[in-house]
């Protein structure tokens, strides 16, 4: 019998029991704020997302909010004022509410 399990390289636990992703999310401090960009348009900026997950989180935020945006220099920049909605989406994605500052 061959008992090869997929093992997490960080914690050494099987992938089914691994909590590394949850621990990384718990350590992040996420800041959400609105600022004015070109032509006095409002944009929502999200800072503090892990660099490994920022592309996927940015894509998901743009999809769920039906707005344009970009990911650059460690920030997610969304067109429009979406502070409250972004917080709820991040909570749904598994980020702890106490680590999200609006």
- Please report, for the chain, the start and end positions of each structural domain, with discontinuous segments joined by +: 29-101
The pTM score is: 0.75
CATH number listed for the domain at residues 29-101: 3.30.780.10
Can you tell me which residue has the tokens 């914690």?
Answer: 11
Between residues 62 and 9, the one the model is more confident about? 62
Lowest mean pLDDT among 2-6, 55-59, 63-67, 79-83: 2-6
pLDDT digits over 61-86, tens only? 999 999 999 999 999 999 999 999 99
What's the farthest any 2 CA atoms get from each other in the chain? 67
CB 75 within 8 A of CB 45: yes
Q: How far is CA 50 from CA 67, 89, 95, in A?
A: 22, 16, 11
């Amino acid at each position: 019998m061959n008992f090869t399990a997929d093992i997490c390289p960080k914690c050494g636990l099987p992938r089914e029991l691994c909590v590394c992703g949850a621990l990384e999310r718990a350590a992040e401090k996420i800041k959400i704020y609105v600022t004015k960009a070109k032509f006095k348009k409002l944009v929502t900026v999200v800072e503090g997302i892990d660099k490994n997950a920022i592309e996927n989180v940015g894509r998901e935020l743009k999809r769920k909010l039906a707005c344009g945006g970009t990911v650059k220099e460690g920030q997610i920049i969304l067109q429009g004022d979406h502070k409250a909605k972004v917080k709820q989406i991040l909570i749904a994605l598994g980020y702890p509410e106490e680590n999200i500052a609006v």
